[in-house]
Amino acid sequence: MKLFFSFFLAGFSIFGLSANAHANDSLRTKPPVALKLPTGFRAAMIAENIGQARHITITDNGIIYIKLNRQKNGKSIIALKDKNRDGKIDDTTGFATYGGTGIAVKNGYLYATSNTTIYRYKLDANNEVMDGTKPETIVKGLIDRGQHNSKSIALDNAGNIYVNIGAYSNSCQLQDRTNGSMGMDPCPILDSAGGIWQFKADKQNQTYGDGVRYATGIRNVVGLDWNNTTNTLFVMQHGRDQLNMFPQYFNDQQSADLPSEEMLEVKKGSNFGWPYCYYDPVKKKKMLAPEYGGDGVKEGRCSDVDKPVMGFPAHLAPNALLFYTGKQFPEKYRNGAFIAFHGSWNRAPLPQKGFFVAFVPFKDGKPNGDWEIFADNFAGTEEISSTRQAMYRPCGLAQGPDGSLYVTDDTKGAVWKISYGK
């Protein structure tokens, strides 16, 4: 795994990352960080200090809606507008009072989530939410026990909405995150969490009983997107932590390098094996977790669970997934996947890693080649021992109507627009 991680860091020169970011479009005279981007791309910071900016969505006429993790100045959804179309935000408004992560625009509605509820707002002819508009409650009563509680969403083209309900546990131990504690078998969490649920996008006041447990065995997802090429849902799983709670099998180095963060193609009935299994990107296999009798060698029951379409280094925290359908970027990016890696907290005593936006090329609905770092230096420093040292942490991704890529940060509330060409 160490070699695997070294390979992608070496890939900077292979993939043509420019040594100096194009910062001439920034709203700042001296931006605090210069993003490292492939040659021909430029980045502009279009907003900052808006609050803990999580996911982002953009209407076809360019209105940017951002979900805040918690209120700032009494508002938790921020709308950014460029009224005179000069490339700079000149109008910032807000509404709603609930924290959370998920937000999306579909078929004339803005959908947004708290950690227990999915709401939607009717958009007017200008794609705006009018003052005083009360949202419809689409789904309520989703479980929130603190850990892995954000409710991220994606919508298909058949009137369905998909929501992650993260497991409120690391590995379903009898005593969570405790050395040597064995796992509950079967894991009782899976009846209401640890998977993806499907609901109707236009039906109000749904609860668990109205939905479908679309897929299970998924520890936690923050980034997900509907792939229009395959007509399927893709998600980014946060792999489990702390394999070194079983030091007879895993040392600190192995715990830092395992298991993989996973890109999953999710279909109805999929089972990806959590908490019984984890994905080893070196062996390219699902392995039996130590809480269930695993020793780093055994596959056991995990040989039959669904596999990821791609594995990534451990503990990078993929918080957004976006399939690029625009025409502004070069051909290699068409229908490929961008991923915002929020950055790790649990690779100690090794340095923390992540804090970048990656790209995965796709062809015919499948990854076509290795992943690469697309936008880097959000953290502002190369050596990080704690997330507190990172200046910015990428969290949300959206595609603008002109094909630009937008990235949010939930540390200082910044938003970047990444464009290609002059």
Average the pLDDT over 184-212 and give the result: 98
The maximal CA–CA distance of the chain, rounded, in angstroms, is 63
| Average pLDDT of the chain to the nearest whole number | 91
Query: With 80 as the cut, is the pLDDT of residue 102 above it?
Result: yes
Please give the pLDDT value at position 151.
98
Average the pLDDT over 49-62 and give the result: 97
pLDDT of 234-270, one tens digit each? 999 999 999 999 999 999 999 999 999 999 999 999 9
Please give the pLDDT value at position 301.
97
Query: With 70 as the cut, is the pLDDT of residue 23 above it?
Result: no
Within 10 angstroms of residue 88's Cβ, the number of other Cβ atoms is 13
Query: With 90 as the cut, is the pLDDT of residue 31 above it?
Result: no
At 5, the pLDDT band (50, 70, 90 cuts) reads very low
- Residue spans of the domains in the chain: they are 2-420
At 20, the pLDDT band (50, 70, 90 cuts) reads very low
Query: With 50 as the cut, is the pLDDT of residue 24 above it?
Result: no
Query: What's the CATH number for 2-420?
Result: 2.120.10.30
pLDDT of 320-363, one tens digit each? 999 999 999 999 999 999 999 998 878 878 888 889 999 999 99
Please give the pLDDT value at position 84.
84
Q: Would you say 233 and 227 are in contact if contact means Cβ atoms under 8 Å apart?
A: yes
Q: If you search the block for the tokens 């702390």, which residue do you land on? A: 242
At 217, the pLDDT band (50, 70, 90 cuts) reads very high
Please give the pLDDT value at position 320.
98
Please give the pLDDT value at position 353.
86
Cα-based torsion angle of the residue sequence 325, 329, 334, 338 in order, rounded to the nearest 10 degrees: -80
Q: Would you say 43 and 27 are in contact if contact means Cβ atoms under 8 Å apart?
A: no
Average the pLDDT over 53-61 and give the result: 97
pLDDT of 119-167, one tens digit each? 999 999 999 998 888 999 999 999 999 999 999 999 999 999 999 999 9
| Distance, CA of 295 to CA of 303 (rounded, Å) | 15
Query: With 80 as the cut, is the pLDDT of residue 12 above it?
Result: no
| Distance, CA of 45 to CA of 27 (rounded, Å) | 6
Please give the pLDDT value at position 3.
34
Please give the pLDDT value at position 346.
80
